[in-house]
């Protein structure tokens, strides 16, 4: 009984070993054929090796399927044709996705970015130098985008007081920036 069990276990292992040997022989004999076929189907040279490996992965998964064909080459040709078509579809889909991406602007030179950082530091210093009441009005108007009536309500000030403090704060910031060699993008006299 023990001998029967060991023979039964050796059967599938032996079959697997034979299948692997057949696969290796098929691979060695027909790899160049598959390579040429894929090239004729329009697979780019850079992708040929990967796509050829995909073909032989299909062959390996479908172990022995080529035995039903009169010629393994005709079966390999069909597998290569389908894998090449899948590869082209995937490549075309990837190209469409890349084409749909918005173009990125060229990076600005380092000097411009350094200037922007220096300008931002100067603006922050100019805002910090304002008196607390002007800083609050300026920050709410320029940084938070609130209207003068909204600022008046938030700070419990009269509307004309907000306009006055905002005008004075803009003037002070513009003057501090001018002394530092920078300018504001808008006219500081505009409410």
CATH number at residue 36: 1.10.1740.10
Give CA–CA dist 127/184, Å, rounded. 12
Q: Let me know whether 21 and 95 are in one domain.
A: yes
Which pLDDT band, with edges at 50, 70 and 90, does 5 fall under? very low
Q: Let me know whether 26 and 84 are in one domain.
A: yes
Q: Let me know whether 32 and 83 are in one domain.
A: yes
Q: Let me know whether 89 and 21 are in one domain.
A: yes
CATH number at residue 146: 1.10.10.10
Last residue of a domain, one of 45, 78, 100: 100
Q: Let me know whether 31 and 94 are in one domain.
A: yes
Q: Are 134 and 172 in contact (CB under 8 A)?
A: yes
Region 3-22: what's the mean pLDDT? 61
Tell me which residue range forms the domain holding 118: 110-179
Residue 18 has pLDDT above 70, yes or no: yes
Give CA–CA dist 88/96, Å, rounded. 12
Q: What is the pLDDT of residue 51?
A: 92
Structural domain includes residue 6: no
Structural domain includes residue 191: no
Question: What value does the mean pLDDT of the chain take?
Answer: 82
Which pLDDT band, with edges at 50, 70 and 90, does 110 fall under? low
Domains: count for the chain? 2
DSSP code per residue over 73-98: HHHHHHHHHHHHHHHHHHHHHHHHHH
Last residue of a domain, one of 100, 126, 150: 100
Q: What is the pLDDT of residue 3?
A: 40
Q: What is the pLDDT of residue 117?
A: 80
Kindly calculate the radius of gyration of the chain based on its CA atoms and give it in whole angstroms. Answer: 38
């Amino acid at each position: 009984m023990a001998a029967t069990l060991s023979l039964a276990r050796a059967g599938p292992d032996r079959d697997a070993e034979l299948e692997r040997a057949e696969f290796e022989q098929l691979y060695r004999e027909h790899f160049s054929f598959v390579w040429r076929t894929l090239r004729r189907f329009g697979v780019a040279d850079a992708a040929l090796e990967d796509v050829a490996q995909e073909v032989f992965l299909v062959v390996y998964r479908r172990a022995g399927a080529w035995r039903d064909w009169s010629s393994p080459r005709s079966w390999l040709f069909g597998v290569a044709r389908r894998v090449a078509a899948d590869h082209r579809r995937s490549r075309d889909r990837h190209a469409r996705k890349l084409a749909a991406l918005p173009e990125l602007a060229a990076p600005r030179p380092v000097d411009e970015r350094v200037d922007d950082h220096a300008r931002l530091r100067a603006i922050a210093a100019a805002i910090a130098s304002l008196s607390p009441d002007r800083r609050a009005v300026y920050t709410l108007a320029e940084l938070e985008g609130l209207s003068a009536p909204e600022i008046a309500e938030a700070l419990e000030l009269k509307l004309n007081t907000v306009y006055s403090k905002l005008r004075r704060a803009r003037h002070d910031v513009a003057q501090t920036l001018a002394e530092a060699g920078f300018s504001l993008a808008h006219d500081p006299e505009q409410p």
